[in-house]
Each structure stands twice: as C-alpha cells, then as structure tokens.
Amino acid sequence: MKVWEYILRRLLLAVLVVFGVSVVTFFIARVVPSDPAALWVGPRPSPDQIAAARVKLGLDRPLYIQYFYYLGNLLRGDLGVSIKTHQPIVQDLRAYLPATLELVLVGMAMAVFIGIPLGVLSAARRNRLLDHFSRLIAVAAVSIPTFWLGLLLQLIFFGQLRWLPIGGRVSIETTLYQPIQTVTGFYLVDTLITRNWPAFWDALTHIILPAFTLATYAIGLTIRMTRSTMVEVLQEKYIVAARAAGLPERTILFRLALKNALVPTLTVLALSFVYSLTGAILVEVIFSWPGLGSYVTSAIINVDFPVIIAVTLIVTVFYVLINLVLDLVQVALDPRVVLK
C-alpha cells in the first residue's frame, strides 16, 4: 500500500473515531441530571431567565436536532461556549492548551533523555549494579502516585532547599517587570524568540518540577521497554560480529543496537504522550499550572459540559494523529514493518 493511500485511510478512520466520541460525549452530557440553562444564568435565576437561556442555548429543541446543530458548528471549528465564562471555548483553549502542551513536551523530553540512555546502559550491563539500579528506578517510577511525588518534590526543592519555585508558570516579578510577549503560547519558546532571558530562566525553573512529576511514569516505562528490547538485540549475530570487529561499545549500543530496539520504545512514548495530556490534570492542580487540566477541573466542578466535551474531542484528535505519526515513523525506522 502506498503511503498516501494509508494516510488517507487512517484519516478517514480518525474522522469516524472523532465522530463516535462526539456522539457519545454529547448524549452523555444531556443524560446527566443538570440544567445548563440555570447554570448559564447564574445563582438564584428566575423561571423567565431560565426559559430565555434555554432558547438561547438551543435546549428547547429535540435532542437530535441539538446534536445536528452542534455537529455543524463543530465542522466549522466552533466548539461551543463555556457555561461558566460565557466565552467561546476555542478562545479559552488558545490560552490553556499551549501551557499543557509545553508541560507535556518538556516531560516527554525528560523521558527520552533519561529513560532511553538508562535502558540502553542497563541492558549493556545486565545483572550488574547499574542494571539493578535502573530497574529499581523503573519500578519506583511506575508505582509512585503522582500526587504524592509532586508534593514530595515541592517539600524538598522548595520547602527545604529553596532551589525551585513551588508552582505557577512564571513568578509575579516576571509578570510585572519582564512580561512575556506571546508569540506561540509556549513560554520557553516565546522568551527565546524575544530574547527575554530573565523570563526564560524563570519559566524554565517553574516547569522543571511539574514536568518531571508528569514524566516519571513515562520514564519508568521507557527504561523497562528499552532494556527488554535491547537485551534481545544485543544477542543478535550482527552485534556479536561488530564486537568481534573491534567497534567501540558506544557505537554498537547507540548506533547499531538502539536503532532496532527503538520502535517499541517509541510506541510507549507516543502512548505516554496521550496519557500525559489527561494525567496533567492532577499535576496542574498540584503545581497551580494554568493549563488544560485546571480548565477541565473548573469545568467539572461547575458542570460545564461544553468544555468537557470539547477537551475530550481535543484529546481524541491528538490520540489518533499521534498513532498515525507513530506508524509512519516505525516504517521509516524499520523496513520490515509494512503498511496495511
């Protein structure tokens, strides 16, 4: 199958998946006992105000008609209006989504640069001290509750050592005296583009603890997957021949063996990325990170179903697109993989 045919087929399947998720989430939101019209009006609404709000929100129409209107707006890129903020959800996402994506991307970078080298070295020194140490880290990383680890890191690095801030995206001093000019919404990128070095270092110190907390589970999985695949690859004949030829051990590990062991690890990292988008909710609450997690938490507390549905669709889109990109990367790295 040609690559473009495969991509087209997967995109069509992705559309069906997103459509199915939109149907399920929309009708579940309508079944849950709540009155969006009363929530829209605010505290102590009168019957006339509730009736007017039902008309404005389209809640007076039959359920299937409401969904068709919602689907039409969705196809135009309109995710609806938040019941709490009365603002278009797309406008809110422009403020909250970049913060979460930056947090997740930094966390995934930590998983790559910590997990893969530890997994490779653990396999190369199998049943030695470094191997036992790496396996202990991997087991601990996937076992420690996220909320407990976040609080522990705050206690150590802020409460005791005073090395890193306790939370937030930047300090109040940066907001007042070195404000960040928004270009992409990613503070680390925006401060580099505008050469706002004090704000860059401030944003960097603020993201370390929440990103590491979010990345811990992915680090553990990456270590375990990389080690297990590397153990198998290092027993292959071409690795034995490379060692007999006198190639440097670093070249054998990181250039020959790792390339063939990387495909399963990439699968773990891709799934961890999507998991982190939803797992960021708890991390953002702990570290007062103004991202998608905080936005969804507020929506759940206020029964803001349009926001909950919109965020669910956003995560679904990321999931199907990341899986598509992962399949294409696997084909590029391993010629034995065939597109079907």
Tens-place pLDDT, residues 156-182: 999 888 889 988 888 888 888 888 888
Give CA angle at 97 (187, 304), nearest 5°: 140
pLDDT, mean of residues 52-76: 81
Better pLDDT: 334 or 280: 280
Give CA angle at 209 (204, 212), nearest 5°: 105
The b-or-e profile of 179-216 (16+ CB within 10 A means b, else e) is ebeeeebbbbebbeeeebeebbebbeebbbbbbbbbbb
Q: Is the model's pLDDT at 194 over the cut of 60?
A: yes
The answer to whether residue 336 is domain-embedded is: no
Q: Which two structure tokens, joined as six digits, stand for 219? A: 């680090």
Q: Is the model's pLDDT at 337 over the cut of 60?
A: no
Question: Which range of residues forms the domain containing residue 238?
Answer: 89-298
Residue 165's domain is classified under what CATH number?
A: 1.10.3720.10
Q: Is the model's pLDDT at 57 over the cut of 90?
A: no
Q: Is the model's pLDDT at 333 over the cut of 70?
A: no
Q: How confident is the model at residue 144, as a pLDDT?
A: 87
User: What is the rounded distance in angstroms from the CA atom of residue 265 to the CA atom of residue 309?
Assistant: 31
The DSSP symbol for 304 reads -
Q: Is the model's pLDDT at 32 over the cut of 80?
A: no
Q: How confident is the model at residue 191, as a pLDDT?
A: 92
Among 10-24, 45-59, 206-220, 269-283, where is mean pLDDT lowest? 45-59
pTM of the full structure: 0.85
The answer to whether residue 322 is domain-embedded is: no
Pick the most confident of 1-10, 62-71, 134-143. 134-143
Q: Which residue in the block uniquely carries the two structure tokens 């070249």?
A: 251
Q: Is the model's pLDDT at 212 over the cut of 90?
A: yes
Q: Which two structure tokens, joined as six digits, stand for 172? A: 């109040």
- Give residue 335's pLDDT band: very low, low, confident or very high (50, 70, 90): low
The answer to whether residue 331 is domain-embedded is: no
Q: How confident is the model at residue 230, as a pLDDT?
A: 86
* Mean pLDDT for the chain overall: 84
The answer to whether residue 3 is domain-embedded is: no
Q: How confident is the model at residue 240, as a pLDDT?
A: 81
Q: How confident is the model at residue 3, as a pLDDT?
A: 66
304-318 confidence digits (pLDDT tens):
888 888 888 888 888
Q: Which two structure tokens, joined as six digits, stand for 59? A: 């809640």
90-103 confidence digits (pLDDT tens):
888 888 889 999 99
pLDDT, mean of residues 256-271: 81
The DSSP symbol for 88 reads B
The answer to whether residue 81 is domain-embedded is: no
pLDDT, mean of residues 271-288: 83
- Give residue 323's pLDDT band: very low, low, confident or very high (50, 70, 90): confident
Q: Where are the alpha helices (DSSP H) in the chain?
A: 3-31, 36-41, 47-57, 63-75, 89-110, 116-124, 129-143, 146-154, 172-177, 187-193, 197-233, 237-244, 249-251, 258-286, 292-301, 305-333
Question: Which residues have CB under 8 Å from 217's CB, separation 6+?
Answer: 141, 142, 146, 272, 275, 279
The answer to whether residue 43 is domain-embedded is: no
Number of domains in the chain: 1
Q: How confident is the model at residue 113, as a pLDDT?
A: 92
In sign, the C-alpha dihedral spanning 288, 290, 293, 294 is positive
Better pLDDT: 205 or 257: 205
Q: Which two structure tokens, joined as six digits, stand for 271? A: 């799934």
pLDDT, mean of residues 87-115: 90
The answer to whether residue 306 is domain-embedded is: no
Q: Is the model's pLDDT at 1 over the cut of 80?
A: no
Q: How confident is the model at residue 340, as a pLDDT?
A: 61
Q: Is the model's pLDDT at 106 over the cut of 90?
A: yes
Strand partners, 88: 81
The answer to whether residue 21 is domain-embedded is: no
**pLDDT above 70 as % of the chain:** 95
Q: Which two structure tokens, joined as six digits, stand for 314? A: 């956003």
